[in-house]
Chains A and B, each alone.
Chain A
């Protein structure tokens, strides 16, 4: 008789029966395991979404000193104490001024600061999403949004896009399909300007049309707008939130303007939604750090923002161009990209014989990291041939060397694919 495994010592997670269904369904990824080599100095990473914080780093000591020297007798004035859940008042004021540059009119009391825009995504999932609810997105779309919404066990359905962003007719068709199924989407999540990862911007012509379709179908819009300030060429397009102020939740962040490490983002939402987000935030963290909020507010009020943004745009444009040149020089012709007019990423599509997730091991062995395309799709079978490359963080030399290494990996892989096809 076999020994009875009821009495076996097991390395099973002993808490497994206790987890909520949403946690039990969380799945792992080999990408996370492989990325432990990113801390090795010889590896060049084109994988993250980091900015070049050196551009603003020299401003920080003065901002910190000003915050610590300021009055901090009680409550909301104390950068080292607990703050209010609805954020530091002076930051809310500065954020409304920043949004005004995008043509967005808002009052400070309408703004809810969050720990990066990522927390806003999580809070949106928390207050809107039940299991099996439906959420619409572009595809590819921001991986952090997929993670935030999927942790609430929603079904994510992609609406087709083209070079001008979301296709209005496709949105109409999708909504008609849903109506036919007797279903209604909770909201549509969009990164309309320099979408992560594709870099595509929803055209100015389509914006009112998309909003009109959403309004007609009572579809709530979540506009995630991290990159609008990082436009280095082309015409500005209006934020969706600047065109309407109902039926839309706007998410902003200082991660691309100031520092991702400060974790300062915000939500501008219709009042009833803001109230629920605030309650959800209270439960999540009581308050965002008053210290970092005050440092950020001091920076925004310092008079250096536009000057620094000009530098950000200049530096990132050079790096984008360097990456595009390196793509031409080192990659096979079949590698394609669409040159974005802003943002942080190139989205590169390779021949269909290549699987960028499978290729990641070889790339990391060669000291170069990227994010495989599958990470950005709700269906894991999509995006196999694409990769996202970050140009905002690496130096020009690192971009050239990194692209040289990656190009060699891609060429090697293509040769192998051809050999196997024979």
Chain B
């Protein structure tokens, strides 16, 4: 019986979602016979990890998606699920990820990043306005390193820009301004040793924006799986999702968020630790693939153990 520490909760503002993910994962791992302990991020974390054979990292936001807990596992030589610290770090900051994807020729929405420090100390407010003018409105303004759409605002007009930037910078030190892609919102999970794409899920909201208000309002979000796509579209979004995940060095599983506009799909975000709760996107796609969630998380643990064994750890 493998002793698994499911790390969930944490200090980030996405704590609520992580608790739900962690509970779902822990239940699944118990169903298939593992000895599971659910642990939080506190001063006892390292001790809890030391008492385990594997860490299943179900943390969203900082500590879990920025590579912090993964680095602890590496230092302990403890097997853990998901991507390595470098990939976590890269994906956690949408600006860095966008740069890597652009360099690999993977389509992303045009945008740019500025730091709060530049705005405060270097007069970069003016640069923000010029760049926003170049990209045009409506403009998506969001923290570069934050999940669950926290701090995401669509600035419809130039006069909305300052308030939107203020809001985004309340959730991180860097702000990403990105062209709003008018179209459909889509998420594609990837999983397994060869990062095979799962069935795409389309996200529909009344406002057209999958923001925190929509996430928190009962019944305000429809997740459609499989997303209604032509065979060509399906092939394209699958290819882009896999290419994006491979480019960034994703391991085990991830979720690639996209929008499909007039010019085709563009990647918005790659989540190395996506939501895994009963109502999250990836579990929905897993169910559509006729794989039980128990087996899905069980396979992730097996892959992590195999990787450790292969590496001689």
Contacts and interface: CB of A to CB of B under 8 A. Distances in A.
Interface stretch (A25-33, A53-61, A338-346): A25-33
Interface of B: 11-13, 15-17, 19, 42, 116, 119-120, 123-126, 128, 148, 150-151, 162-163, 165-167, 169-171, 201-202, 212-213, 215-230, 233, 279, 281, 284, 287-288
Contact of B15 (A26, A36, A362): A36
Contact of B123 (A9, A26, A27, A419): A419
B119 A5 contact: no
B228 A2 contact: yes
A106 to B, nearest CB: 40
Contacts of A4: 228
A416 B116 contact: yes
Contact of B166 (A16, A27, A416): A416
7 contacts: A8-B226, A29-B216, A30-B212, A30-B216, A33-B13, A33-B148, A362-B171
Given A8-B225, A10-B225, A355 B215 contact: no
Given A16-B219, A29-B213, A11 B228 contact: no
A91 to B, nearest CB: 36
A12 B123 CA distance: 46
A358 B166 contact: yes
Contacts, number: 128
Contacts of B148: 33
Contact of B279 (A3, A11, A27): A11
- In the A-B complex, the 7 residue pairs with the smallest Cβ-Cβ separation, listed nearest first, are A28-B216, A36-B16, A11-B223, A28-B217, A358-B167, A362-B170, A2-B228
A417 interface: yes
B16 A2 contact: no
B228 A37 contact: no
Contacts of A65: none
Contact of B125 (A362, A364, A419): A419
A30 B162 contact: no
Contacts of A155: none
A361 B170 CA distance: 6
Nearest to B168: A358
Contact of A421 (B125, B221, B288): B125
B223 A10 contact: yes
Contacts of A33: 13, 16-17, 148, 212, 215-216
A353 B3 CA distance: 52
Nearest to A12: B222
Contact of B218 (A26, A358, A359, A360): A26
Contact of A420 (B12, B162, B212, B215): B162
A195 to B, nearest CB: 28
Nearest to B230: A2
B198 to A, nearest CB: 12
Contacts of A9: 225-226, 284, 287-288
A32 B219 contact: no
A243 interface: no
B165 to A, nearest CB: 6
Nearest to B118: A419
Contacts of B233: 2
B223 A416 contact: no
Interface of A: 1-5, 8-13, 16, 19, 24, 26-30, 32-34, 36-37, 40-42, 355, 358-362, 364-365, 413, 415-417, 419-422
Contacts of A420: 119, 125, 128, 162, 165-166
A41 B166 CA distance: 28
A27 B217 CA distance: 5
A10 B222 contact: yes
A24 B11 CA distance: 32
Contacts of B120: 415-416, 419
Q: Of residues A10, A29, A413, A417, which shows the largest number of chain B Cβ atoms within 10 Å of its Cβ?
A: A10
Given A16-B219, A420-B119, A421-B162, 16 more contacts: A2-B230, A5-B224, A9-B225, A10-B223, A27-B220, A28-B213, A28-B217, A29-B213, A37-B12, A40-B11, A358-B151, A365-B13, A413-B170, A419-B123, A419-B124, A422-B125
Contacts of B213: 27-30
Contacts of A40: 11, 15
B166 A37 contact: no
A9 to B, nearest CB: 5
A328 to B, nearest CB: 25
A4 B201 CA distance: 13
B220 A28 contact: yes
B171 A12 contact: no
A414 to B, nearest CB: 10
A10 B165 CA distance: 34
Contacts of A3: 226, 228-229
B123 A422 contact: yes
Contacts of A34: 13, 150
Contacts of B201: 11
Q: Of residues A24, A355, A362, which shows the largest number of chain B Cβ atoms within 10 Å of its Cβ?
A: A362
Given A362-B171, A420-B125, A8 B219 contact: no
Nearest to A32: B216
Nearest to A417: B166
B169 A416 contact: yes
A73 to B, nearest CB: 45
Contacts of B171: 361-362, 365
B232 to A, nearest CB: 10
Nearest to A15: B219
Nearest to B218: A26
B177 to A, nearest CB: 13
A34 to B, nearest CB: 5
Nearest to B119: A419
Contacts of A8: 224-228
A364 B13 contact: yes
